[in-house]
Amino acid sequence: MAVRKVVHIPDPVLRKKAHRIQRFDDPKLQALIDDMVETMLEAPGVGLAAPQVNVSQRLIVVRLPDDEHSREEYGEDAGVLHIVLNPKIIRSSREMVDGVEACLSIPGIYGTVSRHEAITVRGQDRHGKPLSIKARGWLARVFQHEIDHLDGVLFIDRASEIWRYEEDAAGETVETALDESAERPA
């Protein structure tokens, strides 16, 4: 396994529609999956989509943290590793919730994004076997964010508000709102 380089905007791979995976017994695909898990954990991040490591294929990995706080907050979702190939949202709640998102491909930028509170994701496991996952809350948000990546959509496209955190010369964190008229870092 190896940590792969995460690409940042404006890399064009992040804007492409990724290809459906057809062959599962491919050693390169299996190595990619292992590398993506390692890259996500090392970052650390809660999700990663293949285009973020410069591979335009429909594959995501998701894992909420499993520290004590996360176990309280996310219950049995904490620390569960999800590997989903060709994921598709087949059902989504009418209820929408606002939450703050960030992305390993857009360093330093945060935004408020409205997402479905609950979804059902259908896809395949790493061997091509069909799977279905019901997710709510933050897990549902992470799935929606990662599946968007497979269609070239980034959270900044959907955010109602975007801001940047930076450290000034004195090491203080400065928050700057990025105004709607400013060019978005897409």
- Supply the residues annotated as catalytic: 146
Question: Under the criterion CB under 5 A, does residue 159 sit at the interface with Zn ion?
Answer: no
Question: Under the criterion CB under 5 A, does residue 119 sit at the interface with Zn ion?
Answer: no
Question: Under the criterion CB under 5 A, does residue 150 sit at the interface with Zn ion?
Answer: no
H-helix segments, 90-183: 137-149, 155-158
Counting residues that bind Zn ion (by CB under 5 A) gives: 1
Cis peptide before 44 (omega within 30 of 0): yes
Place of tokens 């996952």: 133
With beta carbons less than 8 A apart as the criterion, state whether 14 and 149 touch: yes
Q: Is 8 helix (H, G, I), strand (E, B) or coil?
A: coil
Of 24 and 153, nearer to Zn ion (C-beta) is 153
Please state whether 142 falls in left (phi above 0), alpha (psi between -120 and 50) or beta: alpha
Tell me which residues in 99-118 interact with Zn ion (CB under 5 A). Answer: 103
Q: How far is the CB of 127 from Zn ion (least distance, A)?
A: 26
Of 45 and 123, nearer to Zn ion (C-beta) is 45
Question: Under the criterion CB under 5 A, does residue 14 sit at the interface with Zn ion?
Answer: no
Q: How far is the CB of 104 from Zn ion (least distance, A)?
A: 6
Residue partners of 111: CB distance under 8 A and separation at least 6: 100, 101, 102, 155, 156, 158, 159, 160, 161, 162, 163
Of 53 and 103, nearer to Zn ion (C-beta) is 103
CB-closest chain residue to Zn ion: 103
Question: Under the criterion CB under 5 A, does residue 33 sit at the interface with Zn ion?
Answer: no
Of 60 and 85, nearer to Zn ion (C-beta) is 60
Question: Which residues lie near Zn ion (CB under 5 A)?
Answer: 103
